Structures are given as structure tokens and as C-alpha cells.
Structure 1
């Protein structure tokens, strides 16, 4: 085996490990959520696979001719990779308690086999002790460059252009082809028929496996589901969670309780029919921007939605048309917020979610200071919060807003707000409002009642008692994922 062939093998196998790792996050997000814990778990398993493969590959290479092992290592890993989408999706639907175990194996097995390639190739090229450092250093460097290339290629190119299943099936096929070539060059024979069948089976199984998406975006598995009870009703489902409900025929129809609560606050705080200049952090199905356009003609809404794929879904399947007073941009909300002029908005709406939690950098005192900056003197900030259990995140976010704004109130189920002692808190959606000027809380409560939400509003002493000693979130300390409690699927945007 020449040095070029060795470099290609090390480069390719190292790149493949990182492709599997990144795509595994995409596969698991619809079932485990796109959280810090999920990312940490996948990264930990991948690093375990790399360590285990490097150690075992080196030991075995000292005992068996590496030429006999390279081809099977590539081929078996390719077969497993190709089968991964179908296996994981079927497990998630039919045996969810096994999902984490099966996911670990589908990362660990190919990751270890591919990581074993580098010590095997290194063994073949160690012909003299005088060259040990040179050979090990060169191949180690090539492997690192391969891992970087796999990361960049997946994150910037593959995920934006190909479905997740297509990436893994294609990678599996390439690994099986590489296995056949290595077998031919090193042993002058090829025995890959079973591996080829596994790749074909993986492709066929993926077409019938449950949990497939209508659209795979950069961040989500997206589906649009028609409402059988309303001809124009559509639900936007992202990663298995209902994020938005849109009535294509009647934008004033608000299906989700929390959106009715948002409308209750805004309709109370501003004169009826008054056009607003609004900024929305997070778009989803654009339910609330559509509502404002319909009920307040002349309203101009700027929406920052980080997922360009969700923007396309709105245009292709949810009836968004140019000239509706809604300007949607594919961008990060925190960065976009910094570019807005001071005092330029009547209303800022926070409704951005990654999985089931607000991206942490949108929750901090520094972010809220930017929100305050872009609001005019009578401006209003309203945001959708989701929390469960002890409601630790919601309490921390309310405390954070209390450090930034003079007036803060919280809307939600009475038990969650501590206003109903007969029922235990269950958590779910809540709406927080903040402003420099006082808002008529009694009028907001009347609007909530008129919309049949069953929610209450808490402010002043009630809210201070409810918040307790919750810590203010900052850019330096915002453990949002840890504060959030185990959840039930939220009611979406």
C-alpha cells in the first residue's frame, strides 16, 4: 500500500466518522429534541467510538495482518451506516424505550470500525523505528484534516442539499465500494455481496420506515398536516412537535391557547385597528404576523426565522404571499436584533424555539436590553415560554425581564402561576409581557376570558412571590437546557 492510498484511507475514514456524528444529531432530534443533552450524548458516544476504535485497531493490528482487516472494517461500517435511518426511525416509532441504546450502537459500531483504520494503516507503514514519529504524525494529521473536512462538508453542504437518509445511504455505499477496492488491491479478491445487499436494503427500508419528513430543512424535519375539521386549517409540525396552526382562509382564527393570549395582550395594549411596527423573533407558521396583518391593516412585521427551510414551507405550503406586510428573513434573531434602530418598534414578539426550549442566547439580560433598546417608549415585549416541573426556567426568565423592564406580567394556567392551590402545576405554554409603561392587567384578563383561554394573569406582588429567588440569566450564565424540566409536547405557535 503506497503512501497516497494510506492517506486517502485515513482521510476518508476520519471524515466518515464526523459525517455520521453530525447526521445522527439530525436523526435523533425529532424524537429526543435538539437540546444540549442530546448533542452532548451524541458527541460523547462518537468520542467513545473514536477512542475504542483507535485502541482496539492498534492492538489487533499487532496480532493480525492489517490487510485482512481494512476491507471488512470499511464494509461493515458502510452497511451499518446505510441501515441506520430505517433502524432508528422504526425503533423510535415501535420501541421508543430502546431508541437511545440502538442509537448508541449505530454510532459506536461504525465509528469504532472506521477509527480502527488509522492504526491499521499506520502499522503497515512502520518499516523503521527511525521513521515512527514521521509516519504517526503524518497520518494523524491527515486524519484530523479528514475529520475537519467531514464536519465542514456535512454542516455547510450536505445537510442543506440532501435528506439525512440520503446522506447516510450514500456514505454507506461509498464505504462498501471502498471496502471492495481495498480488498482487491490488498488481497486480490472481493467478497462484498452481503454488504451491497445491506446498503440496498437500507435504501429500500428507508422508503417505508415511519417518521419520514415532507421536508428536511437545515434544522428540522418538517411536515404540514391538514385539519380535517377546517378546510383551510394547517398544522406545521417540526421534529414531531406541533409548532404552528394556520387557517389559510381566516388568519384571525387562533387555534392554540397561547396565541390567543398573545392577541389578548396586544389588542388590549394598543388601540383597536392601530397599525403597528412589529418585530418577531422566530417565525414558525407566522400565525401571529398574519393575525396582525388581518386585524391591523398597515402593520409592518419583520420576522427573523433562522431556518430558511421553514420560510420555504410558508411560501410553498402555507400560503404566504409577497405584499402582505410580512417581511421574513432567514437569520438569527439575536444578531438581527442588534441591527434594528433604537426606538423603531411598537411591538417585539419572542417565539423562537429549538426543539422544546428557547435558544439560550435569546433569554439573557443582554438580549432583553437589546429588546428594550429597539422598543419605543410605549412599546411592548411579549414572549411565549414553555416549561414544566418546577418551572425553573420560566421563573428565571421572568426574573431576568424584571431586571430590564419596569413592568412585567405573566399569563398562564392558574395552577402554574400559583393562583390555584387546589391543582398541582403541570406546565406547558405561558406568555410573559414586559414594558416601560403599565399595561391594564384587568383589561387583559377580560380579553383572556372573552377568548375562552381559561388563563389568568399575574403581576406585581403575585409575580414577585412566584419568581422567588430565581437567578437572572446572562450571556455568561444561562443554563436553559438544565433549568427546563421533562416535558410533554407543547402546543406550538
Structure 2
């Protein structure tokens, strides 16, 4: 039996790619802090992003959905990329740069959004997505990369993999929850968006620098990098912070719900315009509260003039305050009128006192809170006139547009009283038709006031719905409208029925307001 030649050897095994060393694990407390802090910072960015883009693209369901979707995409991409890098580089050398870069990106976000917002202003879907991406994606992705980097460092013992991953994942979730509640309940109400973002950017930068110093002392890594690179990053961060102070700011003040500004009318020395999220919301003449500038306020005034002759007091309820124009008109034309205003934004009430001549007292009582919740506490048959003028940007909040809400308003309105509701819609006018059907499902008599061009679906416009359980004095209202706005149309009866057609009645269970408002 022959043996194989001695010079024949087995083929060499292909060498396995060695996993790079990750160095020592971080102390558990430091690892938990980094995951908690970075995850929380992402949710601060997400919450504040809605405030940043609102003045340019509104605060609608599409905008809110875009913020959530882009933030989740950034988290997914950042976590994936962080995990990929953790398997190829020493995570100890990546953690501090990720935090510092996230701080720089956060500082730059504010000027980028404000300059880009002026270009992308409007409600186009592509513009919304792009502006939200500029506000959120880069800093959120960098922060999302922190957790997989920390996890890789902590996986020294494969027998504890599930425990380590589960604990850090839970801590990250708790960080997000804490940041969401803190930002929504405290920070947004107390601080301007500029302050929140620059403070967050500073905190991220300081934590990143401190972490880099700590890690270099514990174990030398490739973290420091060239001095020129560190200097360039520092300059970039300072430039971002500096641009934030000079970027165009559409707000005089930021309330809990709005970016608000009061502008003087160059053609009327006592005229003031209230802009909310850059949209013209209310007009007030400080010297003459009887002056109604906007068409829809003239229509409301005309209905009130017919419902109660000048001088006859009213018990009026206003759902939404804004600039308090209509309450001021009713008080000026009908002394003794009791105006109760439900305004969700306490900051607007204070702004009205400071700059729009609002004086609360026996004839004007402002109640801060959600109109849907507050109207339920109003006595039955207690109001002669109910005015619906509540908006989130240019959209009636969906829960104020349903049949259940209309039923509550009807309950509060006296049998001979009138409900008027301001609505904004655009061709093909799906929302105004649905809202007319909704109000008509509760009130026996309904009419519509609108410009002829809007009814012909040639342009967007304000529309005024008028509802009552008593027959409406249509001809008297039409005559009064001819005096204040001769070009406006009033639809009622069969003409209105034809306009409404088979429109959907909105309910608490199904009220796709934003989708109905979308242009075809």
C-alpha cells in the first residue's frame, strides 16, 4: 500500500475575516445615558420640526404625517448605518464624532429650514416632504446611529446578548417618551424653537466633546483626528448658530400652537393684521371695532345684524378667538352683549391684550381650552348666536367639523338662534359640501354665503355656513349682504341642495377633513 507523496499538502483554508476589536465596554451608566440622551434628542427634533415647518407649509395631517414618517426613516437609516459601521470600525472612535456632528447638524437646521421655507412655501406634497427632510433627517440619522454603536461595545459576553440589547432598547424608548412629553408639555410652551434647537445643539456638542475626552483617557483610539478637521467642524457649528440668529423669522412670538405676528396696515394707521403661521388670520381696527376688513367677517356681521337689530344685546358664543374681531364688533354694535370666546391658545389671548386692544370683562370672557371639550359644559338653549371660527392653520380641526359637534352646538343654540361657521375650501369643494351636509343633518334650515367664483370652483375661498332650527330670513340677509359685499352669493333651499349633492356627513368615526381639502 503506497503512501501519498510527502510534498503533497492539503489546500490552505481561506482565512476568516477577523472581527475588529471594540475595546473595553463602557460603564453601564454611561452606556445607558448615551442611549437615553440620543434617543430623546431625536424626539425633541421631531416635535420641534412641526413648529419649524408650520409657518411655511401649514400644520395639517399631511405635514404631521410627513414629520413622523421622515423621522422614522432617519431612525431606520441611522440605526442600520450605525450597526454597519460598528462591525467595521472601533465604535469607541465613532461615538463622540456622531454626537458632535449631530449637534452641528441641529444648529444648521434652523437657518436651512427658514431660508428653504421661503422658497418651498405652500402645501405641495413634494415641498412638504423636502422641507421636513431638511429639518429632521440628517441630525436624527446621526443620533440614531449612537445606539447600535453602544450596543456593539457592550456585547462582551455573548451569553448576555439578549439582556444587553433588550435593556438598551428599553432605555432608548424611555428616552424618546421622556423627551416627547417634556417637549410637548413644557419646552414648546416655555421656549422659542430657536432656543430649543440651539440648546439641544450645544448639549449634543458638549456631550460629544466630553465623551471624546473621557474615552481618550480610558483607552487611546483613532478618535482625535487631524486638528484641521476638528477646527473646521467647530467653525461649521458656529456658522450654523450664527446663521440662526440672522435667518428670516416669520414669528413675533411663538405660542403653544402658533407662530404669530401682528403687522400694521400701511394704508390704515390703526389697522392691525394677525398672522398665524404666516397666514392672514384676523384684522382689527384699534380705533373702530365696527370696521370689518375681511369678507367673511362682513358676512358674519350681516347675519348678526339681521338676527338681532343694532342695539339689541346678544348672548354669543365664539369657537375660536384669533384677533377677537367679531366679539369686538358685536360689543360695539350691541352694548351689553355677552361674548364668551373659547380659544385653545392662551398665547393668542395674551397677544390680543397686548397688541390688538382686547379687553376682557363682563362683555368679553375668554376661556382657554379646546372648544369641543368646553362646549359640552355650556347650558342648553343658552346662546342666541354661535360663531365657529376655529382653525389649525387653514383647516377646521376635524373634531370641530363632525355631526356630533354640530349636535352640541344645536343643543346650546336657542330655538330661534343662529349658528355661523367659517370654512376655507378649494376646488373641487369637497370639504364645504361635506360640512354643509353635516350641519344640515342637525339644523333644520341651512344657507351658504360665498363668492360666485368660489361656488363655480374657479378659486379657493372662505365660505360661511348659516344654520338654525327656525326659518332663516334669507331675503333680509341677502339684502344686508348687498350693502356690505355686493358681489357675494347666498344659496338656500333647492339651490343649496343641488350644490351639496350626495356629500358625506362627517362623524367622529369618520372625518377625513385633510383628504377632502386636498386639491384634485
* 1:323 Cα offset (Å): 2.7
> Deviation at 1:453?
4.4
- Provide the rounded CA distance (Å) in 2 between the counterparts of 1:34 and 1:55: 30
Partner of 2:89: 64
Indicate conservation of the 8 Å contact 2:110/2:135, yes or no. Answer: no
In the other structure, the counterpart of 1:264 is 302
Match of 2:251 in 1: 213
Aligned to 1:300: 338
Query: Is 1:248 aligned with 2:286?
Result: yes
**1:66-81 mapped onto 2 (5 Å cutoff):** 66-81=91-106
Gaps of 5+ in 1: 419-423, 488-493
Q: Which residue does 2:187 correspond to in 1? A: 158
Contact map agreement 1:365 1:474 (CA 8 A) in 2: yes
- Rg comparison, structure with higher value: 2
Range moving further from structure 2, 188-197 or 317-326: 188-197
1:335 to 356, 361, 373: 373
How far residue 103 of structure 1 moved from its aligned partner, in angstroms, is 3.5
| Residues in 1 aligned to 2:500 and 2:60: alpha-carbon distance in whole angstroms | 25
Correspondence list, 1:157-236, <5 A:
157-188=186-217, 192-236=230-274
Counterparts of 2:517 and 2:145 in 1: how far apart (Å)? 39
Query: In the alignment, which of 20, 24, 29 is matched to residue 4 of structure 1?
Result: 29
Counterpart position of 1:449: 482
Q: CA deviation at 1:324?
A: 6.1
CA contact (8 A) 1:411 1:457 kept: yes
Distance 1:173 1:427 in 2: 44
Residues 28-177 of structure 1 mapped to structure 2, 5 A cutoff: 28-94=53-119, 100-177=129-206
Alignment partner of 1:416: what SS? helix
2:397 to 331, 351, 359: 359
Q: Which moved more, 1:322-331 or 1:123-132?
A: 322-331
CA distance in 1, matches of 2:485, 2:299: 10
Q: Which residue is 1:397 aligned to?
A: 435
Alpha-carbon shift at residue 338 of structure 1 (Å): 0.3
Please give the alpha-carbon distance, in whole angstroms, between the structure 2 residues aligned to 1:315 and 1:385: 26
- Structure 2: state its 5+ residue gaps: 1-25, 218-222
Paired residue total: 482
TM-score of the two chains, using structure 2 as the length reference: 0.90
Q: Is the 8 A contact 1:360 1:479 kept in 2?
A: yes
For the 8 Å contact 1:214–1:223, the answer to whether it is kept is: yes
CA-based RMSD: 1.6
Distance verdict in 2 for CA 1:453–1:246, change over 3 Å: farther
Measured after TM superposition, the shift of residue 30 of structure 1 is 0.7
| Contact 1:260/1:453, CA 8 A, preserved across alignment | no
Per-residue deviation at 1:486? 4.3
**1:384 aligned to 2:422?**
yes
Alpha-carbon separation, structure 2, partners of 1:152 and 1:297: 44
Shift of 1:187: 2.3
Contact 2:112 2:134 in 1 (8 A): no
Aligned residue for 2:309, secondary structure, equals coil
Whole-Å separation in 2 of the counterparts to 1:263 and 1:70? 62
CA distance in 2, matches of 1:281, 1:260: 17
Structure-2 residue corresponding to 1:349? 387
Q: 2:66, 2:128 within 8 Å by CA — same for their partners in 1?
A: no
Greater RCO structure (CA 8 Å; 6+ sep): 1
From 14, 31, 40, give the equivalent of 2:39.
Answer: 14
Q: Is the Cα–Cα contact under 8 Å of residues 250 and 277 in structure 2 kept in the other structure? A: no
> Secondary structure of 1:201's partner?
helix
Distance 2:67 2:323 in 1: 30
The alpha-carbon deviation at position 58 of structure 1 amounts to 1.1
User: Does the 8 A contact of 1:383 with 1:432 survive in 2?
Assistant: yes
**Separation of aligned partners in 1, 2:287 and 2:406:** 35
The SS at the match of 2:416 is strand
Q: Secondary structure at 2:322's aligned position in 1?
A: coil
Cα distance in structure 2, aligned partners of 1:153 and 1:405: 43
Q: Aligned-pair distance for 1:99?
A: 6.8
How far residue 196 of structure 1 moved from its aligned partner, in angstroms, is 3.6
